[in-house]
Chain A
Amino acid sequence: GAVVSQHPSWVICKSGTSVKIECRSLDFQATTMFWYRQFPKQSLMLMATSNEGSKATYEQGVEKDKFLINHASLTLSTLTVTSAHPEDSSFYICSASLGPAWEEQYFGPGTRLTVT
């Protein structure tokens, strides 16, 4: 099946710094990528939808200036957490859509962010 990778898998950063997370579709071109956040023992919450070459669409309550998303190519989307704070510590997971059928959405392994 299609493979989605994320880098890094785990990152620790200091409060006030920024951290970038990459999401790559390794063997297919993804027209749409999604970013989710999962707090411990909570469900995955959709943060934003990213389409190649256009601005991301953010869900209500997600600060677009804090969570910068860039989808520069059909195989790469990046999420930058700016001025990170401890409450941003979470598990960030991306998914990539192969096409219009919903089952063609593949999840990455996730990135665990810890802000100290």
Chain B
Amino acid sequence: ILNVEQSPQSLHVQEGDSTNFTCSFPSSNFYALHWYRWETAKSPEALFVMTLNGDEKKKGRISATLNTKEGYSYLYIKGSQPEDSATYLCASAIQGAQKLVFGQGTRLTINP
């Protein structure tokens, strides 16, 4: 069974501070790692899709890194803003299985 773990489960950050959280996944037969942002009452929105060990991707103030050998990915948010408040989901895919397995998410709240 593919097990994807995210930590922490929830996080409160002061506006303007930077933060990061972790996604752990099995490293064997790795195929891809996805990050999504899910705001309340909206649909999950794709942030990053990463497939190569050492990948680093950036979208504005948000960036992500990938280590497929040890099975983890970090998501970083620089200079947090209230609109960053959301649940951040990671999901992993393994070779041969045409599906994503999601972690439980990190619920981020930015305090003004």
Chains A and B belong together in one complex = no
